[in-house]
A and B are shown apart, each in its own frame.
Chain A
Amino acid sequence: MRELSGKGLLIIDSLHEPDTKKPWSFKEKLLLGLAPREYLSQIMRNPLNWAMCIILALGVPLIVYRFVFGLGTVTHSSNDYPWGLFLGFGLFTMVPLSASGFLLGTTVELFGRRDFKPIERLALLNGLLGYLFAVIYLLVDLGQPWRLHYPMFVTWGTAAVLFLVGWHVAVYLTVQMMEVSEAFFEWANWPLAKLFIKRITIGLTVAGIILSTLHQGALGALFSYAPSKVHPLWYSAPYLWIFFFCSSIFAGLGMVIVVSTVVKKTMAWRCDDNFLENLDRLTIGLAKGASMAMVTYIALKLIGIAHDNEWAYLATGWGLWFMLEMAVGVIIPLILFSVSIRRNLAGLARFAAFMTVFGIVLNRLNTAIIAFNWNLYQEIPHIFEIIIAVTLFTIYIITYRFILYRLPVLYSWKPAPFREYSTAVEKSHFPGKEPAQAGVFRRTAK
């Protein structure tokens, strides 16, 4: 794409072709303004696409295989290790990494930190896709995924933490879809729908905080059911849910930094100046938020160890592993974040964010798989299980990229070609109206 735009190709960032003033057709918008052949060749040129193609070629048949022949054929999930990578990574890791949606929503919409606006949509999209794929991982893992609606409509197990998780993730997914749909409505030119979403933004955001607080914590509380199985250093009946909630804050913020870094490196053509110019400042801002959560998390972890008097475990092999996780995933990134904030080094903050995300993956895998059954035996995931998990993640990346290429997430939707007119109208009658309202005015103007 970079090459193409360098050759003077237009990048669609408004409803209308600037020269002819014709509205872009749906097909044009979908193909990024390229002819089908150009679009294909653009895909073929990217070596990453080939790599992903190979992964899909391996993984998709395996997913089909899993549904035809059962979980037992592709996973090492067993009676002792009921949950493997699909939940250990797919659910328990994807969900905290997707906390970005509610965090940035709160920052921007509720706390009025407009300066974070350029990255808000990316954070919302990151949240939506993370949850969506967490559910997809879950569907692959469930014994009978076609009964997913049972806890909603058929038979209620109201006393279960998982019941709360199920409901909250379902509701929150809906909330996030509505939040992100604002960008979609701009792109699809449905201004009224967008207006409706804007009206309820505050409500959605507050709902997002409530749901997120509860289900991020609930994922931790799920493991409080297994006191004899999760290693004491990772277990704490009263605090496990706070650990999970608190770590989801820096997980979500770290993930936004990671994604924005990747985006800046790989699809700068799609980002507008507003995004690119503000990114370093925003990265440092996110790093500030993450480091506050990290300090809190470290304190909570210490309280957790002290509460159950688990100091002696620190001297064991598991203790070393625990301290390694804390060092690599929390303490070192925290130090790096602090340095980057003080010296204003966005690059360092980015590096720290990658470590943070890695640390979260490690923590969740530890709780769900590695330090689970610590006193029994170690289970290593089946190779097919790993391939399927990677395949689903690849589909996640493809979907992510597909949306970022199109919807106004990294850039704002320009109201051209009636820019002068519509902004004039906006300024006189509707101070502060979103530019995409232009669509409405264009029609009235005719």
Chain B
Amino acid sequence: MKGITRRKFILAGMWGATAVIMNGKAAHGKADFEGYPEGMGVLVDLTRCVGCRTCEAACNNEQNLPVPDRPFYDQSVFDEVHHDGKQKRRTDENAYTVVNRYDAEGSEEAVYRKIQCNHCNEPACLTSCFVSAYTKTKEGAVIYNPKACVGCRNCMIACPFRIPAYTYSKALNPVIKKCIFCYDTRLVNGQPPACIEACPMEVLTFGHRDDLIKIAHERIRMHPDVYIDHLYGEREVGGTAWMYLSGVPFEQVGIDTTLQKDPILSNASEFLSNVPVVLAVWPALFMGFHLLATGDNRESGEENHEPERKEE
């Protein structure tokens, strides 16, 4: 109910009256936006992950990414930390998904967590992009068009999950690199992404997002002793296609639990809703001030308020 209407509103802000026409066009079909009904999603059940990194290998193969430093069965990468231990591995131009290991309290076994694009219902990257390089497809994927990208990297600022990576090393054609849900090679054909097919433990359950929400809550209901009673991504930042179940508190596996429930775009809406006001009110207001302030000079002609500089 927020997405399209909000976007329309902003459109209106930009273009004032002309936007009414554009709104008419945009309104077709999707009045209430809560993700697409046929949108697919993935349920990530952290209690199942054993840290085999097969998903990383699958992604690397599927997306033709460069050969990494270490083979994917090498678990020593879990010891990797950056920036004085403040950051574990993250997605980059050569890896659209990574698995990290966490030593969570109250869990004897290490907990592993896969990171990739969560494919938000109302993506911050998409709504922050000023050239519409991103698209949320009806299948649920958030895809990217490198041909439109100017390279402002606002999407990277906006993404609450810090997913998009940039090919800073490229001089001529730097682009954003991120998980695209294997959209073009698999999702459009009704196939699950490569990582999901590869996962031996079915940590990743692929399905219609609506169904996955039911399944997730059922898992929590059936095993309240195993799961934290929260489906991360069901409502965070307006809902994501990829959602997480965990056996340990989410913040202990590097998941930001402080995120708002509203889409990121809603933070800018306060400002954007003021745009049409300024456009509509300012001209008259300031012309009014102008007439008030200079009114008594007007009899002597339009340009009379030119100062007499030499005398001043």
A112 to B287, CA, bound (A): 12
A229 to B258, CA, bound (A): 11
Interface members, chain B 206-263 (any A CB < 8 Å): 256, 258-260
Chain B CB count within 10 A is highest, among A112, A202, A274, for A112
**Which residues does chain B contribute within 8 Å of A444, judged by CB atoms?**
none
Within 8 Å by CB of B272, from A110, A161, A223, lies A161
Given contacts A68-B171, A160-B154, A431-B300, contact A228 B131 (CB under 8 A): no
Given contacts A112-B290, A162-B128, A432-B304, contact A144 B174 (CB under 8 A): yes
Given contacts A72-B168, A144-B151, A377-B83, contact A159 B7 (CB under 8 A): yes
Within 8 Å by CB of B310, from A80, A150, A221, A412, lies A412
A113 to B289, CA, bound (A): 12
A227 to B275, CA, bound (A): 21
A198 to B303, CA, bound (A): 8
Q: How far is the CB of A225 from chain B (nearest CB, A)?
A: 4
A214 to B268, CA, bound (A): 13
Q: Are B151 and A213 in contact, CB atoms less than 8 angstroms apart?
A: no
- Interface-side segment among B108-116, B183-191, B277-285: B277-285
Q: Are B272 and A221 in contact, CB atoms less than 8 angstroms apart?
A: yes
Within 8 Å by CB of B160, from A110, A118, A217, A228, lies A228
B40 lies within 8 A of chain A by Cβ: no
B1 lies within 8 A of chain A by Cβ: no
**Which residues does chain B contribute within 8 Å of A142, judged by CB atoms?**
150-152
Given contacts A225-B128, A226-B157, A278-B312, contact A159 B90 (CB under 8 A): no
Q: Are B301 and A225 in contact, CB atoms less than 8 angstroms apart?
A: no
Per-position 1/0 for A103-133, Cβ under 8 A of B: 0001001111110011000000000000000
A75 to B166, CA, bound (A): 13
Q: Are B87 and A376 in contact, CB atoms less than 8 angstroms apart?
A: yes
**Which residues does chain A contribute within 8 Å of B86, judged by CB atoms?**
376-377
A213 to B22, CA, bound (A): 25
A68 to B290, CA, bound (A): 51
B294 lies within 8 A of chain A by Cβ: yes
Interface residues on A, range: 35 or more
A381 lies within 8 A of chain B by Cβ: no
Within 8 Å by CB of B157, from A83, A111, A238, lies A83
Closest to A244 in B: B271
Q: How many A-B residue pairs have CB under 8 A?
A: 233
**Which residues does chain A contribute within 8 Å of B166, judged by CB atoms?**
77, 79, 82, 143
Within 8 Å by CB of B171, from A67, A112, A163, A376, lies A67
Per-position 1/0 for A141-172, Cβ under 8 A of B: 01111011011001111111111111100000
B265 lies within 8 A of chain A by Cβ: yes
A240 to B268, CA, bound (A): 9
Given contacts A70-B174, A144-B149, A376-B86, contact A77 B157 (CB under 8 A): no
A325 lies within 8 A of chain B by Cβ: no
B10 lies within 8 A of chain A by Cβ: yes
Within 8 Å by CB of A80, from B90, B170, B268, lies B90
Closest to B6 in A: A159
A337 lies within 8 A of chain B by Cβ: no
A213 to B128, CA, bound (A): 20
**Which residues does chain B contribute within 8 Å of A356, judged by CB atoms?**
none
A198 to B301, CA, bound (A): 13
**Which residues does chain A contribute within 8 Å of B165, judged by CB atoms?**
79
A-B contact pairs, 21 of them (CB 8 A): A70-B169, A71-B174, A79-B164, A80-B90, A110-B286, A111-B289, A112-B293, A118-B312, A142-B151, A144-B174, A151-B150, A155-B148, A159-B265, A162-B130, A206-B282, A217-B271, A225-B265, A226-B160, A376-B83, A412-B310, A431-B300
- B interface residues with partner A (beta carbon < 8 Å): 6-7, 10-11, 13-15, 22, 82-84, 86-87, 90-92, 124, 127-133, 148-154, 156-158, 160, 162, 164-166, 168-171, 173-175, 256, 258-260, 264-268, 270-272, 274-275, 278-279, 282-283, 286-287, 289-290, 293-294, 297, 300-301, 303-310, 312
Q: Report the 6 A-B pairs with minimum CB-CB distance, sorted nearest first.
A: A143-B151, A72-B168, A112-B294, A82-B153, A377-B83, A70-B171
- A interface residues with partner B (beta carbon < 8 Å): 67-73, 75, 77-80, 82-83, 106, 109-114, 117-118, 142-145, 147-148, 150-151, 154-167, 198, 202, 206, 209-210, 213-214, 217-218, 220-229, 237-238, 240-241, 274, 278, 376-377, 412, 431-435
